[in-house]
Structure 1
Amino acid sequence: MTKCDVKNYLEKVYSVPVGAVRTRIQYCTNKKRNHLSQRVKRPDYKVAYIQLAQQQTFQFPEIFPQKDTALEPGSVEEMQDQFMQDEQQRQKADPRRGGMTEWFGL
C-alpha cells in the first residue's frame, strides 16, 4: 500500500482523521541456513507510521463481541459444551494410581 492508500483506508473504514503517514521498508536478514546449508532469507515487509490529527485518539473497534453464555437446551452448542466437559472429566488422572501414568501398566 502507498501512503495515499493507507490514509484513505483509515479515513474511510475507521473514520479517523490522519495528519501524516510515513513508510519504510524493513529489510530482513538472510543469516539462517536450511538443512542443505543454503541461505534462507525471510521476506521484506513495509512498515507504516501514522500520525493522527491534533487532539484525536484511536480506539480499535470490537471485532468479536462477547456472546451471551446462556445456551438453549438441545442446541448444537450445548451438546458441544457437554461433550467437552465429558472429555475433560475422562482425561483426568485416576487418583487410585498414585501419580502413575496411564501408559505404565501395573
Structure 2
Amino acid sequence: MSSRWYPRYFKGNPQLRVFMPNFFMKLVKPEVPQPPNVVHFIVSTEMSKYDIKNYLEKIYKVPVDSVVTYNKMGKTKRSTVGGYIIKDDDYKLAFVTLPKGETFEFPDLFPEEKEAEVKKQQEQLEVLKKEWNQLAKKNQHRKGVPTWLGL
C-alpha cells in the first residue's frame, strides 16, 4: 500500500493528484531455463492474475497471453547474535506467457565493452598501488607524518 498523502480535492481547483499503482513488479532471471516467450516476475502479494495482465498491457503495452502465479514462503533462519528465528517476507511469483511469435531476451547488464573498461581501471589501480608502496617505503622513518608534508 502507498504511504502517499494527497491534498484534498475541491471542485474547480486544478487536479493535484497523480494516480500511480500501489503495486510493484520485479523482473527476475529464472533459476530454470524457460521458453523464450515466458517472463518471470516477483510481484506484490496483493496482485491477482488480472492485475498483472492489466498492469503489463495498460502501462507497458506488452501483449500478454496468460499469467500463472503462486505464493512462496520466505526463508527462515536463526539469528547469529540472539539465537532467535528470523523469517523473510513471503512473496508471489508470476510467470507471464507472451503470445506466439513474441520473445523476451533478458537484458545484458554487463556488456563486453564495460568489462574492457573495468580491466583498464584495475590496471590503473595496480599502478597507483605500486606508486603508493614506493612512497610509503621512502617515508618509513616518518611515522605519523602525512606523506604530503614532504621536506
TM category, shorter: 0.5 to 0.7
Q: Cα 1:94–1:39, aligned 2, differ >3 Å: closer, same or farther? A: closer
Structure 1 counterpart of 2:79, from 33, 38, 48 = 33
Amino acid corresponding to residue 101 of structure 2 in structure 1: Q
* Residues 34 and 40 in structure 1, CA contact (< 8 A), matched pair in contact too: no
Q: Cα 1:28–1:100, aligned 2, differ >3 Å: closer, same or farther? A: farther
Amino acid corresponding to residue 31 of structure 1 in structure 2: K
Question: Map of 1:23-102 to 2, 5 A cutoff?
Answer: 23-58=69-104, 93=132, 95-98=134-137
Whole-angstrom CA distance in 1 between matches of 2:60 and 2:70 = 23
Alignment-derived partner of residue 63 in structure 2? 17
Aligned residues: 74
Structure 1 counterpart SS, 2:71: strand
What percentage of residue pairs aligned between the two structures are identical? 36
Whole-angstrom CA distance in 2 between matches of 1:50 and 1:40 = 31
Task: Spell out structure 1 runs of 4+ moving beyond 4 A.
Answer: none
Structure 2 counterpart SS, 1:24: strand
